[in-house]
Amino acid sequence: MSLLVGKIVQLKAEGKKVANGETIYRYCLENEDELNNKIEELDVQIQEALQNESESTLFSTDIKLLETQLEEKLENVYENTNIQEIAQYKNEIISSITKKAKIAGDLTPSGSYVKQLIQQRSEYENQLNTNSKYVYANKSGIISYKIDGLESKLTVGDFSYLNKDFLENLNLKNSQIIATNNTSAKIIDNFKCYITCTSKTDEALNSNVGDSIKLRLPNSEEIPAKIVYKNNESDDEVLLVFEIQDSVEDLISYRKIPFDIIWWSDSGIKVPNSAIQYEGKFAYVMRNRAGYEEKILVRVLRQNDNYSIVENYSTQELEEEGYDVSTLDSKKSISIYDEIVIKKH
């Protein structure tokens, strides 16, 4: 959702989750600055007037509760560095102070100066609330005020419009932060996000829609992703679109980021292919300990032209595979510190 009218007042901070129908921002009035200045002046006068009232007159459990809430909000402000959240806390603090003043005004003698000031402040506040136009979220998601004009160009659903030339002509810079817009906002689906790129790797060329992989983001976080669109740019280059559902909030501020595609990931021991030998269908390596060579059966998890990722078999796994484990020392296994023998050609 994106609405472009006049200057807005944020009621929900950047990156916060909102529900469908929740108020997210409102449009400023033409005389809003003037009204706010009058309200701020009255706040100062009310505080000064309250200080002149006797402590006993203003005692109230409601006031004590508001004072406790004010202290908590002030602590949150001191510990926060997010400008939008600080602004929101400021509004909450002002609201609590106003409530305190109204309660105190009711406790003071009828017709007192405090009550007159509170009444005048309420009139200004009513003008703001009555004449303001509020905007509500038309779906649930994450609120963002970062608008760059590409919202209508980079659409999801049908990705057939995407190609290498289209992406290059956007003239986007890596990791450039989208500027905050003070006249509009949008609701972002916080469950899905799409990243596209072109690639000439063998893995990309041989990939298929529906394949699951991982992406490594600039912060080194690895997140799961799925290929949802593939288009051949040429015989040796493809365009891919990945769907992700993690870390969506971290990507709101950017249109272009550097990332790595992790086509496969296995945990094991990396050994040269030249160290692997075979006994029927079973792979093994020769381990050298103090000049004594031992055969260690291993399972090959992944392999490229030079290296393999291997792991040890358990005795039960070997039995299930039909290997005669009586010929082996079940305690033998390869570790990352072992010396292995390279085959001679």
In the block, which residue shows the tokens 């190609």? 163
Are 142 and 15 contacting, i.e. CB atoms less than 8 angstroms apart? yes
Run of H or E residues at 169: helix 164-169
Name the one residue in this structure whose structure tokens are 């409530």.
Answer: 99
8-22, 50-64, 205-219, 315-329: lowest mean pLDDT where? 50-64
Read off the pLDDT of residues 254-292 as tens digits, 9 standing for 90 and up.
Answer: 999 999 999 887 778 889 999 999 988 889 899 888 888
Average pLDDT score, the chain: 81
With H, G, I as helix, E, B as strand and everything else as coil, classify residue 122. Answer: helix
DSSP state of 146: B
Query: What average pLDDT does this structure show over 102-126?
Result: 71
Helix (H, G, I), strand (E, B) or coil at 60: coil
Distance (Å, rounded) from C-alpha 35 to C-alpha 125?
8
Do 149-262 and 269-340 share a fold? no
Architecture of domain 269-340: Beta Barrel (2.40)
Q: Over 90: is that where the pLDDT of 85 sits?
A: no
Partnered with residue 223 across adjacent β-strands are: 215
Q: Residue 339, SS3? A: strand
Q: How confident is the model at residue 304 (pLDDT cuts 50, 70, 90)?
A: confident
Retrieve residue 274's tokens.
């030249």
- Every domain of the chain and the residues it spans: 29-131, 149-262, 269-340
Overall residue count recorded for the chain in this entry: 345
End-to-end CA distance of the chain: 66
Strands (DSSP E) found in 140-180: 141-144
CATH number, domain 149-262: 2.40.30
Q: What is the pLDDT of residue 195?
A: 95
Helix (H) or strand (E) holding 187: strand 186-188
Question: Could you tell me whether strands 212-216 and 222-234 are parallel, antiparallel, or unpaired per DSSP bridges?
Answer: antiparallel
